[in-house]
Structure formats: C-alpha cells, structure tokens
Amino acid sequence: MVNSRTTNIPLWVRIAPALTIAVLVGPVIAGLAGIALPAVGFAPLGGSSAFTLSAFARVTAEPGFFTSLWLAFWIGPVSALISLTLVTGFAAAAAGTRSFAFVAGLLRPVLALPHAAAAFGLVYLVSPSGFLLRLVSPELTGFSRPPDWLIVNDPMGLALLAGLVLKEAPYLFLALTSALQQADPRRADIARALGHSRMAAWLHGVFPAVYAQMRLPIMAVIVFSSSVVDMAMILGPATPPLLSLRILGWINDPDFSQKSLAAAALVFQLGASGAGLVVWLAGERLVSGMARRLAVSGIRLPGLPGVSMLARSGLVVVALVVLAGIGLVAVNSVAGIWRFPDALPRGLNLTVWAERAPELMNLTANTVLIGGLASLTALIAVMLCLENEYRSGITLSPRAKLVLYAPLLVPQIGFLPGLTVLLLRLGWDGSLLPVAFAHLVFVLPYTYLMLADPWNAFDTRYLDTARALGRSPDAALLTIRLPMLVGPILVAFALGFAVSVAQYLPTLLIGGGRVPTITTEAVALSSGGNRRLIGAYALVQSLLPFLGFALAAAVPALLWRDRRALRSGGVV
Amino acid sequence: MNEGLRIDRLTVYRQGRTLVCLDADIAPGEVLSVMGPSGVGKSSLVRAIGGFLSPGFATSGAVRLGGRDISALPPERRHIGVLFQDSLLFPHFSVSENILFALPPGGSRRDRCRRVAELLAPVGLKDLLDRDPATLSGGQQARVALMRVIAAAPRALLLDEPFSKLDADLRASVRSFVFDIVRERQLPTLLVTHDRADAEAAGGRVVELEAR
C-alpha cells in the first residue's frame, strides 16, 4: 500500500513541528524547573543555598503580602468575566447586523495597541488631572486644581481592572469572530423561528459552540491578568502592588537574600493564577448547567430594547476609550503649557521630539530588529508546520492546541526568571538575540492561530492543478500557495510583530536591562510622571504595530493591483 | 384550526434592485412549491417570510397569517416554522433537549418530557430521545428537525430545500414524512426547491420563478 501523501516530505518540512513544539514548551519547562530549586532554598542564582523552606515563611511575613496575592487571584477571572460579558452581549445583540462589522473595524486598531500604551491613554483620560475631569472643570466641579483622588493606582486595583478589560475585550472579540466563522448563523434563525428573542436565540443556539473555541484564549487572558507587570506598574495599586511586581522587585534587588523570597513568591504566583483558572472552570459548569435548565424549560426571554442597546454599546465604549486615550497620548507629546482646568494645552511644540529624536531612533531600531527577527522566524516555522500538516494529512488535535498555548497559560513572571538564570549559565544573555528568542516563544502561538485558518481554507485544488502541470510540491508551495496567501501571511507577520513590540517582561529579564526597547523605556518612564516624555514614547510604541499592519494591507493591494481576486488579501 | 398564509405581493430587493417577487394564498394543509434555478432568490424569499433577511435587503408587500399582517414582526413573534436543508440540530443538546427547547414554556420537567415523548412516539423517533444529534443518520436528523419545528406549535411552515442533502433512497421517505405531518396538522406550507420531484410529491400548486 502506498500512502498518497506522507511519501517524500522533505526533512526541512518534517522537522518543523518538533522544533516549534520545543520552542513553545522548552522554555516553560526549563523556566519552571529553574525556580523550583531556589524556592526550596537551593539558589543557583546566588543567595542562601541552605536547603530550607524558610523562604515561604519569610515571604508570607512580608507586609501586605496577602493583599498582593489576593489581587493576583481575583483580577484574572473578574477581568475575563467582564470582557467576556461585553463581547458576548455585543455579539448576541448585533451578530448579522451592520454594527457588528462596524465595531469589528473599530476594534482592529485597538487590538494592535501595546498594553502599556493603552494604559497610558487611560491615565490621561481618567486620572484626576486627566482629560475628562478637565472637560467639566471648573464649570461643574469647581476644581481649579486636580482633586486628591486615587483614580489610577487605586488600592482596590479597579484602574488596573479597567485597563485589562480595555485590552482583553478586543482580544476576546477577535477570538469570538474567528470562532463565529465556523458556527452556522442559521442556528440562531432556527431558535428565533421557535419564538426566542434575538439575543436569547443567539445565546442558546450559537454561543455554546463559539464558547468552546474561546476557552483557551480566555484562560490565557486569566493567567495574563493575574501576573501582568507593565500595566500593573502604570495603573495598579502601589502599596502593596500586584504580586508580580513585587516578585520583579525581589529579583532585581541587589541583596541576594531577596532572591529566595522571589522564588517562594513565584510559587504563590503560580498558585494564584491556577486558582483563578479553577474558579473559572467551576463557574463555567455552573453557568452552562443553568443555561441548559433554562433552555429545556422552554421559557422565552423577552427581547428588551434597553438590554440590547446596553449590550451593543459596551464594546463601542471600550474602543472609544482606547482611541481617545491614544489621541491624548499624542497631544501630550506635543503639548506646551497645559495647566489643570484647561481642556487643551495653550500651545503645541516639538521640543520633546527634537530632544529625544536620537534616543527614540535607537530604541525604535532595537524594537524593530527584535520584532522583525522574532516574527519572521515565527512565520517561517508556522508556515512549515502548516505545510507539514497539509502534506502529511495530520491535523492538529485539541491536545496539540494546548501545546500551542503553553507559553500563554503559564504566567510570564512564573517561568521567565528561571529561563533567565538558565540562559545566564549558558552565557547567552543581555544581548539582542536571546531577547528575540524569548519573544519568539510568545509570538509563535499568535502567528499560528492567525495563519492556520486561511492556510487550511485554501482551495488545494490549485495545488493539485500545479502538480498535474508537472510541478513538485515545493514548487507548488512557492509559486502557487504563498503568492495567493500573501495577504494572510503578512497579517500573521504583522500580528507577531505587534506581539513582540508589546513585550515588556521578557525584554527586561532576558535582556538583563541591557537591551532597551521602546516598550521597556516607556514603562520605565511611568513612575517619573513626565507627561510629554511619556506621550512621545507611548506614541512611538503604539505606532510601530500600526505600521506593521498598514504594510500588511498595502503590500497585497500593490502587488495584486491588477488581480481582482487577490486584491483584498487572499482568495479565502 | 389553522388559518391560511397569504403572501401579498411580497417583493425582496437587494441594494435597491428587485430580486424576487411572489403573490400567493396558501390554504391550511396545502403545500405551495416555489421552483427555480439557484441564485434566483428562493432562499431570500424564505428569509423574508420568516423575518430574518440580512442587512442590505429590503421588502415591500405583506405577509398575512390569519388575516393579520405580520411582516413588521420579528421572527420570534411570527409563529412560522422553518426547515433548512441542514437539520441544524443544536449540537450541545441531546435530541430530547432540542425538542424541549422548542416546546412552549410551562409544566413540570416531567410533564414536559412526557409531551416530548408523546410527540416523538407516533412518528417512530421515541428511541432517539437521549441520543447525541451528531450520532443520528441523515434521515433521523431530518425527522427530528421537523418535529422540533412542530413542537413549537407553528401556524405555518417554510421548507427551504429540506430534502436536497438526503440520499435518493431516503428522500422519498423523509418527503412523505414531512408532507403527512403538514396535512395532519393542517399547516399552510411554502416549499422552496430546485427538484421537480419534490414539487410533484408535495402535490400542491407549483410557482416557477425565472432568472432575471
């Protein structure tokens, strides 16, 4: 018997999946192993090497430790719940209508925005000296000076929660829309014909299948929120801060005895993130049981116009807040004198830009180099994996998808310190290449998720046609598939680049503080409070991913300007 | 007793251009077959009568059920059952949960389950109650889908190529299953199809739509 496909797959295609899996899982395992030892007192990174569990006792005795831990526990599931509610409510009310496409367009730029830039935008919008309060001051509030309110950096962590939702809701919306493409919208029609209102019909008929596809992204969101660093610096509480921030502080503490504190706290961090996931899974069962009982009761929930309006507007507010924030970031970078109750600055100038131009150029060069390297490597690896899937006829199992998400389901602060130590031992640290490698770990999953659907949806009869005309599989790949898919390929590349630009912790830790990017420097400015400087850095940070996506849109349009079927970015 | 379904010069427009137009009276228990090549707007006609046209479409004329103009109502308040060419059973529900979902509210859980059993027993589907819809054969899925529509007690029925995905040997039996129920329940029914055999089996009048 001859297997029609698996014969003659070249080695460079066949080894791609194994290499990719190694890059996805290897650093996570190595990093976790790296901390397991110091947590129990064996500290290869220095510090006390006595084999003792006393670090756990010491870390829990740190002032405010349990406040930090509690925040790390609840903020994951709560931010995910709010984001999912916004996204689901909107889809239930607007699926199949024009406003769905409109809001999807509005959220696309928001998605590309780095977390830090979105956080700065929120600060400029809602802080006591922010734009919203300026708009109504002194007329409505009577304030001539910014009030003494803790709106951002509030001890409850509400500003951090808001910031996380601003970034996660667009991300979950992307996950939902891609799941929606495989769901049959006629199921909602059927449910409506059976007498269920628009939102109820969608929730009962379409959402369960969609949600099944959203579970991993949601879990990634929970883990991310529970251990976020850059947003926690900008928006989170200060005394005590989120656990991840304290861990970073202990790692960077010159006093070696603090390292074992960091290692012990990492174990707590993993516990908090894990507990957040467990709570979510429990809630999932509860809600799905209730929904099932409601469905079989046959009760038709009335379609209330107020609820529908509310559900439609939530995501729009998210998009508008983020976009307004970026506008304010831009204005701040060129603002002259801008006293408190003034809604707008008295004058505009380019002083900061002129002063900082050389530094900004350097940082941009670093960022683009690292991002380009990581996302190009990821793109090639992903294309080879997908091509191997096609040629061998093996499709990705659900368990393999878990591997893909591995680096996103373990907190960055949980395994990057261990990885740093490991790379340090190998003498591979503090330079651009290791940083790009660390970015690759996080870029790979997104690149794969973005490219897999268009790649698999490609009409392979084009390839069969090429083969019948005497072309080899490799020639068909290079001359038929790649050119036809140039649009989706570039979008996957741009997404990978955006992910890389936004990375803060990997750059900081693996780079040993010696590989500055626009992101590390923008976040570092957050404590200084120089509005104009922050504005300039955050604007550059947000423009880089945009340029990537703009390029991804422009290239196919130019390349295929005389090819109608390909102009919009691919045939699929 | 059901009233008739009156399609009163219903016209569907897409981007301002007339797509399809129909004027017909359908009596209780009657099946009106609408035939035409693909792309002529048959499905849009079904969606217009059912109330779920996509944005970008517009209609004029009226749909009357029992003398009442329902064309401004949302689909959930039209009481018109729809059957597509795919069974579209909800994959996360069992067969009986699919029917329970359609059954009007009220009654205890036990009561409702009994009503589902009563609905499915006479049509030979009682053994399928606890099955996962994905494990049913195509013919079984088509039957369950019809009984799900019937469970909601519709006052009219729309059939959008409901037999076209079935194998030839199954098609005849599912067809007679559907038309028997239509007659038994005295439902005014509109069948859209490109297969002349469907229209002949329906036994009612036939309207031909022509490509524009």
Tokens of A478: 């290079």
Contact call for B84 and A186, based on CB within 8 A: yes
Q: Tell me if chain A has a CB within 8 Å of the CB of B57.
A: no
CB contact, 8 Å: B84 with chain A? Answer: yes
> Which amino acid is it at A225?
S
Residues of A whose CB is below 8 A from B92:
208-209
Each of the 572 residues of chain A gets a pLDDT tens digit; together they read: 455 555 578 888 888 888 999 999 999 998 888 776 665 555 554 444 444 578 888 899 999 999 999 999 999 999 999 999 999 999 999 998 889 999 998 998 898 899 999 999 999 999 988 899 898 888 888 888 888 888 889 999 999 999 999 999 999 999 999 999 888 888 999 999 999 999 999 999 999 999 999 999 999 999 999 999 999 999 999 989 999 999 999 988 888 778 788 888 999 999 999 999 999 999 999 999 999 999 999 999 888 888 999 999 999 999 999 999 999 999 999 998 888 888 889 889 999 999 999 999 999 999 999 999 999 999 999 999 999 999 888 877 778 888 999 999 999 999 998 888 888 888 887 789 999 999 999 999 999 999 999 999 999 888 888 888 878 889 889 988 999 999 999 999 999 999 999 999 999 999 988 999 999 999 999 988 899 999 999 999 999 999 999 999 898 888 888 777 776 544 33
Domains of chain A in start order, with CATH, are 11-38+70-566 (1.10.3720.10)
Answer whether B52's CB lies under 8 Å from A192's CB: yes
- Residues of chain B with C-beta less than 8 angstroms from the C-beta of A292: 93, 97
Q: Are residues B55 and A98, on separate chains, in Cβ contact within 8 Å?
A: yes
Q: Would you call B82 and A190 a contact, using CB atoms and an 8 Å cutoff? A: yes
CB contact under 8 A, B90 and A192: no
The two three-digit tokens of residue B29, written as one number:
């228990």
Alpha-carbon distance of A296 to B151, in angstroms, equals: 12
- The answer to whether the Cβ–Cβ distance between A296 and B81 falls below 8 Å is no
Complete DSSP assignment for B17-52: EEEEEEEEEE-TT-EEEEE--TTSSHHHHHHHHHT-
Joined tokens for residue B88 = 């579209």
The span from the CA of A187 to the CA of A193, in Å, is 10
Q: What is the pTM of this model?
A: 0.89
Minimal Cα distance from A95: which residue of B? B54
Contact B52 A98 (CB under 8 A): no
Widest pairwise Cα distance in chain B: 54
* A192 has a chain B CB within 8 A of its CB: yes
Closest residue in B to A297 (Cα) is B105
Nearest by Cα to A445 from A14, A151, A25: A25
